[in-house]
């Protein structure tokens, strides 16, 4: 069952002239809802507004978005809300319309049925052929130009592979198709910078904050394929999955399939625990409701 609000009203269609369709001219957020509480709503809002600012899209009013997301949370134990903000209807051509009225779309989806084994034993991650392109003007924000992720995800059908990892054209590891990546090497936690490619994930930031609080040595820097070969722990993050430990990375090297294995180590464990605590806290207090 899908529930949708478009500019605050129930509906399931948008204008065929919307610039979100014509150009991917907009931003989005994917929110986890637990027992009617939206997780990290403030952080999602901040990123959404930052994305609007970067793209010069008139930002929605935060109080309106909060009201509308709360109206859509539903009564399931868990749910997903997706917020899309586009520049709205436009004439033909790239020029920004003069009287801009953005389009606000909020959709509720059923929460995905992730296997418990993903959390307990880890997931299989695949290195994709599709590269992620570089443009500082679009990096960090969650915009609607997602063809590279679509093509990367289309590379595998094997149900046992949970996620695909993408590099830029300089062989830097950037992120998964739908997640950020963290690597632990000699007790040091590292995640790629998202200055030229990639999305600055909400859970990525939460993990960095938790590492700070827990006194775990951490860094944002370039990550190369070689770093994955020598990593002790690897994990993925996004707003829905939280933290998925990676048990295997599969990739092709010299025309051969290569499998690298990781343990689910203490740093992944500590950070997972911290994140769970925060989720419990938010789903009980519901500070944003």
Q: Given the rule CB under 8 A, which of 38-46, 94-102, 117-125, 228-236 is the region that contacts a copy of itself?
A: 94-102
| Shortest Cβ 178–a copy of itself spacing (Å) | 6
Q: Is 161 in the site for a copy of itself (CB under 8 A)?
A: no
For CA atoms 95, 100, 101, 103, the dihedral sign is positive
Q: Return the residue of 50, 146, 188, 225 that touches a copy of itself, per CB under 8 A.
A: 146
> Kind and range of the H or E element at 99?
none
Query: Measured between alpha carbons, how far is 11 from 79 in angstroms, rounded to an integer?
Result: 19
Query: Measured between alpha carbons, how far is 258 from 29 in angstroms, rounded to an integer?
Result: 35
For residue 242, is it left (φ>0), alpha (ψ between -120 and 50) or beta?
left
Paired residues of 86 in beta bridges: 26, 103
Q: Is 215 in the site for a copy of itself (CB under 8 A)?
A: no
User: Is position 196 annotated as part of the catalytic site?
Assistant: no
For residues 11 to 50, the per-residue mask of contacts with a copy of itself, x marking binding by CB under 8 A and - elsewhere, is xxxxxxxxxxxxxxx--x-x--------------------
Q: Return the residue of 40, 45, 85, 86 that touches a copy of itself, per CB under 8 A.
A: 86
Which of 30, 76, 222, 279 does the annotation list as catalytic?
30
Q: Is 130 in the site for a copy of itself (CB under 8 A)?
A: yes
Task: Give 282's contacts (C-beta < 8 A, 6+ positions apart).
Answer: 34, 37, 39, 40
First-residue to last-residue Cα distance in the chain: 23
- Residue pair 30/146 in contact by the 8 Å Cβ criterion: no
Phi, psi of 205 (to 5 degrees): -70, -40
Q: Is 78 in the site for a copy of itself (CB under 8 A)?
A: no
User: Is position 142 annotated as part of the catalytic site?
Assistant: yes
| Shortest Cβ 185–a copy of itself spacing (Å) | 29
Candidates 188, 196, 176; CA nearest to 227 is 188
Residue 126 CA: distances (Å) to CA of 155, 239, 249? 10, 20, 6
Q: Is 135 in the site for a copy of itself (CB under 8 A)?
A: yes
Q: Is 239 in the site for a copy of itself (CB under 8 A)?
A: no
Which CB sits closer to a copy of itself, 203 or 260? 203
User: Is position 272 annotated as part of the catalytic site?
Assistant: no
| Shortest Cβ 130–a copy of itself spacing (Å) | 6
> Kind and range of the H or E element at 281?
helix 266-285
Q: Is 134 in the site for a copy of itself (CB under 8 A)?
A: yes
**Catalytically active residues, by annotation:** 30, 142, 175
Binding site for a copy of itself (CB under 8 A): 2, 4, 6, 11-25, 28, 30, 55-56, 80, 82, 84, 86-87, 91-96, 105, 107, 109, 112, 130-131, 133-135, 137-138, 143-154, 169, 177-178
């Amino acid at each position: 069952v899908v529930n949708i609000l478009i500019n605050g009203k129930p509906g399931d269609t948008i204008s065929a002239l919307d610039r979100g369709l014509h150009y991917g001219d907009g931003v989005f957020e994917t929110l986890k809802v637990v027992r009617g509480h939206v997780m990290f709503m403030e952080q999602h809002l901040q990123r959404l507004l930052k994305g609007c600012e970067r793209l010069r899209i008139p930002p929605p009013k935060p109080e309106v978005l909060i009201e509308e997301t709360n109206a859509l949370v539903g009564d399931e134990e868990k749910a997903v809300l997706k917020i899309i903000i586009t520049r709205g209807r436009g004439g033909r051509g790239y020029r920004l319309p003069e009287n801009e009225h953005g389009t606000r779309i909020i959709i509720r989806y059923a929460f995905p049925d992730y296997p418990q084994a993903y959390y307990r034993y880890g997931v299989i991650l695949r290195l994709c052929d599709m590269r992620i392109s570089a443009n500082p003007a679009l990096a960090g924000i969650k915009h609607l130009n997602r063809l590279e992720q679509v093509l990367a995800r289309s590379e595998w059908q094997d149900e046992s592979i949970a996620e695909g990892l993408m590099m830029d054209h300089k062989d830097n590891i950037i992120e998964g198709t739908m997640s950020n990546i963290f690597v632990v090497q000699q007790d040091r936690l590292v995640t790629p910078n998202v200055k030229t490619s990639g999305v600055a994930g909400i859970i990525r930031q939460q993990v960095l904050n938790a590492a700070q609080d827990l006194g775990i040595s951490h860094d944002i820097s370039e990550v190369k394929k070689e770093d994955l070969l020598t990593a002790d722990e690897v994990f993925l993050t996004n707003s829905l999955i939280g933290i998925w430990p990676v048990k295997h990375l599969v990739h092709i090297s010299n025309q051969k399939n290569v499998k690298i294995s990781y343990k689910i180590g203490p740093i992944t464990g500590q950070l997972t625990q911290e994140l769970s605590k925060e989720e419990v806290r938010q789903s009980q207090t519901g500070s944003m409701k």
